[in-house]
Chains A and B, each alone.
Chain A
């Protein structure tokens, strides 16, 4: 069953269908929020709020096949809200804690994850929306409120920076050897 069929069932009040939508999209949405916010617990809260709002508003989604961009938009909005709240907080002392996720990718992907984390926010965001949420350029442009050309050039620049930082790392390793 694809997302659109689940959306139609969810719009008729089928909670199991909505739960299935959540299950099949949660990892990519969480990765997107985590990439934008940089904090796993904030990302977790943002996703939870986003799923709640999505369930409450699923009836307003006119085109069931556009569930993913619609859902990502809600997640991005929740991330912006979380950002605003975080900026008002004064951090006195960070209490170390476990992350709100388990990394289940290959160990070789950790360098890439770190390289993405070190990008600036604009570049991190387009990488997250393009690859983690798997959105089309036009959808990303709509969510961020910028022209498609800007999204494309941000993606190209972000990819270039990732190549540079991963390339620099492998050179360092090579030098050590």
Chain B
């Protein structure tokens, strides 16, 4: 598997991986089977209990280091550093979501709605594409569409509903799988609240690289709204099944 990747990347200048047999009918199952085979296999990914990204955001000369930690039990933390000051965004300790208030530099709990919505997503570990079935999510093949200049399969994932201003709203994410190499290059969902309500937020995935024995992950994640205003997170290191001090997730009593 690894050799195929290296050959694909460096000889043809692109990834080929396992392509679909052209005579086979494309279904959600065949797309995901090929995808997981290409990125290291379902079994390997299922063994993950935690991972830690070290990354940076570069905004026109200003570089911000970021660390993201996710655990199978849903505990999570995103931490970034500004001039040596560490700020936490969206940490979850099993009960509460919390973030650092930038002004006071103190921890504040997220709204109960945000916390509830996060709790509903617990189980999407390491990724919803692996666990969607057990979570009761629906995944359908919607058709084909060109994204990023690439012909893609469009998959629609219907997750658990989300609370938006107190009301239950559908929670739908579209995945675009490159038809040539069966990895997602974009996800897309409608923004349900705030100034951009109704527009589509997109996440681009690229720079797939090996993180551990045959397991591949996109090291470049770009968020944008309908193709505009891209902001990229460049991952520099991914560690899996790491020892994590569990107290760091806890909401700090100021």
Q: Is the pairing of A and B real? A: no
